[in-house]
Structure 1
Amino acid sequence: MFKPCVMIPVYDHEHAIGAVVEAVLAHGLPCMLVDDGSKPSCARVLDQLAAAHPGSVMLVRHAVNQGKGGAVLTGFHSAAQAGYTHLLQVDADGQHATSDIPRFIALARLHPHAVIAGCPVYDESVPKLRLYARYLTHVWIWINTLSFAIRDSMCGFRIYPVAPVVALASRCALGKRMNFDPEILVRLFWDGVQVVNLPTRVTYPSDGVSHFNALRDNVLISRMHTVLFFGMLIRLPKLLARKWRSA
């Protein structure tokens, strides 16, 4: 069975979320909005979207902001309870090319046990400092997996099989903020889940709102890389054996 759902974590993106939801619904897929403790003005917009699309838009709400990773994990648990097999994660700020949704769905059908991970193709809107800083994370991800299988670990446009993520989250405390996107890919890779990379256009962002906290999130990401590095050392024989088998 292949039953996908689009999930959008939302935190104060009231100016962009309406267009993102309409673009998603145009592809005939159900949409789950996870309100991660947004302010009242955004919460009202989300209520209106859910009311305008009964049966197509499901709204799940956090009373207090938990971070992007926390919102995504809530989406996974809700998707599992609703019987969805795959979850397509899309950011709320409009930076992802929703026109590529059929490509993600098609690849997920071909590789139902894999993560289909968006690999960004940027335009001129990308901040150069953010672009260059991403490569530091890329290098650490390649070290911590002993592989180049994950071409970009920070793009939030990706489709997951639900069951392996729920199983992983049940035994491992995953990052709740901007450290979630890279950590989940590494840990799924360690679990033997294939990662299929899909180039996709990314812009920065349509509503001018970014919730990346330079100090907090860089500290969390640095700590994550350190934890993953020691996790890689523990798994080194297994990772080397996998690399040898695939050579």
Structure 2
Amino acid sequence: MTEHKPFAPSPHWGEKTAFHPCAVIPVYNHEHALPVVVEALRQAHLPCILVDDASSRACAAVIDQLAEDEWVRRVRLPVNQGKGGAVMAGLREAQRLGFSHALQVDADGQHDLEDVEDFLEAARETPAALICGYPRYDDSVPKSRLYARYLTHVWVWINSLSLGIRDGMCGFRVYPLAPVVELIDAVRLGTRMDFDPEILVRLAWRNQPMRWLPTRVHYPLDGLSHFRLWQDNTLISKMHAKLFFGMLLRAPRILYRRWRA
């Protein structure tokens, strides 16, 4: 359910400019970290779309309170969709509201929001490009997740027929909304932790320009992670298998298009 409340007059909603960014934050039970994340983005003068992915009552109440601010828009999903489903709902809402770009940010505080300005500046300089973060971890990262990421990197390189994707899992990105929403409306993408790598591979198949910036990542501000080690790794493995066969079918066209470019 998308909220349609009226907003106080603001130069940041509904602008029709070539570069008009917002932040999209998928939220599932991160009521303690979320206000810190929203305040940091507010200080960066970035309007926020909070996608409540069927959170608990306590988290929903925090989202409702934050949504009283004119800088914040709330989208409420009645049934949990997973991270990818929540992000896609937020990206569609961002485009509907007239934004040109959306910064995807996790609600748990793992992303270093001091990097927001650098990512937005890169998007402003190259508005057609997808600006992607590749992580620099501190000691808080779980070793099991760190090692599993390397396997995903290899499969992303294979399935994209390119070494250009530096990290398929980091969800700190600035999406140009027009090509991204066109893709998510045309293809059935994974709705959980498989979303982040799959959308990069499918955009690479379409020759989407990408730029890569380093960003610091720590796990997590409120001590709560929704990554399910076995279930999500199994889901990601199935996604890679699906993309592999899709790559085989598309390989001649992809390689020919890149050769022409």
Partner of 1:210: 225
Partner of 2:99: 84
Q: Is the 8 A contact 1:121 1:202 kept in 2?
A: yes
Q: Quick one: which amino acid aligns to residue 50 of structure 1?
A: A
Q: How many equivalent residue pairs? A: 244
Q: How far, CA to CA, are the matches of 1:158 and 1:196 in structure 2?
A: 10
Deviation of 1:241 after TM superposition, in Å, equals 2.8
TM-score w.r.t. the length of structure 2 is: 0.91
Q: How far, CA to CA, are the matches of 2:140 and 2:112 in structure 1?
A: 14
Q: Which secondary structure state, in structure 2, belongs to the residue aligned with residue 79 of structure 1?
A: helix
- Of residues 31, 48, 51, the one that matches 2:65 is 48
Partner of 1:94: 109
Q: How far, CA to CA, are the matches of 2:49 and 2:24 in structure 1?
A: 5
Gaps spanning 5+ residues in structure 1: where?
Answer: none
Partner of 1:29: 46
Gaps spanning 5+ residues in structure 2: where?
Answer: 1-17
Partner of 2:89: 74
- Of residues 94, 112, 121, the one that matches 2:136 is 121
Q: How far, CA to CA, are the matches of 1:242 and 1:153 in structure 2?
A: 22
Q: Quick one: which amino acid aligns to residue 233 of structure 2?
A: N
Runs of 4 or more consecutive aligned structure 1 residues displaced over 6 Å after TM superposition: none
1:103 and 2:118 equivalent? yes
Q: How far, CA to CA, are the matches of 1:152 and 1:26 in structure 2?
A: 28
Q: Is the 8 A contact 1:145 1:239 kept in 2?
A: no
- Of residues 214, 234, 242, the one that matches 2:249 is 234
Q: Is the 8 A contact 1:116 1:197 kept in 2?
A: yes
Q: How far, CA to CA, are the matches of 1:128 and 1:216 in structure 2?
A: 17
Q: Quick one: which amino acid aligns to residue 90 of structure 2?
A: G
Q: Is the 8 A contact 1:7 1:89 kept in 2?
A: yes
Q: Quick one: which amino acid aligns to residue 63 of structure 2?
A: L
Partner of 1:11: 28
Q: How far, CA to CA, are the matches of 1:133 and 1:114 in structure 2?
A: 28
Q: Quick one: which amino acid aligns to residue 223 of structure 2?
A: G
1:156 and 2:171 equivalent? yes
